[in-house]
A = this chain, B = another copy of it.
Amino acid sequence: MKTNEERSALTREEILKKAMKLFVAKGYYNTSIRDIAKESKMSTGAIYHHFESKEGIAAELFDRIVLLLSNLFNKIINSKDTTKNRIKELVFNLLKMAQDDKIVLEYALNVKHKEIIKGGKPICSSGPFETLLTFLKNEMEKGNIRKIDPYVATVCLTGIPVRLIQIKWDNVINKPLDEYKNEVFECVWSVLKPDNC
């Protein structure tokens, strides 16, 4: 037996889920409220009961994904492991997420949040990016990775896996991402490792 609040929350979740699916599949501007309503098996009126606007749906999706990625990165960064292993985990988890939570990561990387949400930032220039930046700065100070500009280091850590994920999604490569993970990590690590020659 569920309270009204619980059922209402479930409806919200359903709308968010279906909206994300459609935004990724067709693009934000190619998806109408009527599309979301049909996919959620509801009416447009019901959608507007739960959200104030289409932009409001996108904004909530954005906030959730920023939180999700920040939490993931923080969990890995705060684990008691070597620097090398934590960086490996970061790379592996990005690739894993591209396979297992494809829609979520596609939404994070491909939807142009800045264009949609008034005053919004691209997802990877906000919370999650800052988390990685701080982590790499600290490791540099401890001498655990090579001393380079922290922004460039962060760009290497994220740019390499992310571009591989994008060409995979574009069907430029056929093998599953999992098979690239060791080589991708090797590349990232050859940039960041402290004993550079």
Contact = CB atoms under 8 A, between A and B. Distances in A.
A37 interface: no
A45 to B, nearest CB: 25
Contacts of A166: 122, 125
Contact residue range for chain A?
Answer: 35 or more
Interface stretch (A58-66, A71-79, A153-161): A153-161
How many copies the complex holds: the figure is 2
B163 A121 contact: no
A148 B27 contact: no
Contact of A148 (B122, B129, B158, B183): B183
B173 A151 contact: yes
B152 A164 contact: yes
A65 to B, nearest CB: 16
B125 A167 contact: yes
Interface in A112-139: 112, 114-115, 121-122, 124-125, 129
A3 interface: no
Nearest to A28: B29
A54 to B, nearest CB: 13
Nearest to A184: B152
A30 interface: yes
A177 B121 CA distance: 20
A187 interface: yes
Contact of A115 (B30, B155, B190, B191): B30
Contacts of A112: 27, 110, 112
A37 B179 CA distance: 50
Nearest to A174: B151
A85 to B, nearest CB: 20
Nearest to A133: B172
9 contacts: A27-B115, A125-B166, A125-B170, A125-B172, A149-B183, A152-B184, A155-B160, A156-B187, A187-B191
